[in-house]
Amino acid sequence: MIDFEEELKKFHPSLEVDEAEEAIYNQDLTDMADIVVGMVKDLNNKEEE
């Protein structure tokens, strides 16, 4: 039978996962809210001209 507690003690996260996590968190990603805010600002600037 598998001793899950013993297996968990042996577990080490993959370096690839750590590297991917760091790359994802360090990126400044634009989400849909940022895009919509930018579009609204552009529309307001065009209306003012």
pLDDT at 9: 92
pLDDT of 20:
81
Q: Residue 11 half-sphere exposure, CB side, CA atoms within 13 Å?
A: 8
d(CA 38, CA 42): 6
* Domain assignments of the chain as residue spans, ordered by start: 13-48
User: What pLDDT does residue 24 have?
Assistant: 78
pLDDT in tens, the chain (49 residues): 889 999 999 988 776 887 888 877 877 777 888 899 999 999 999 887 7
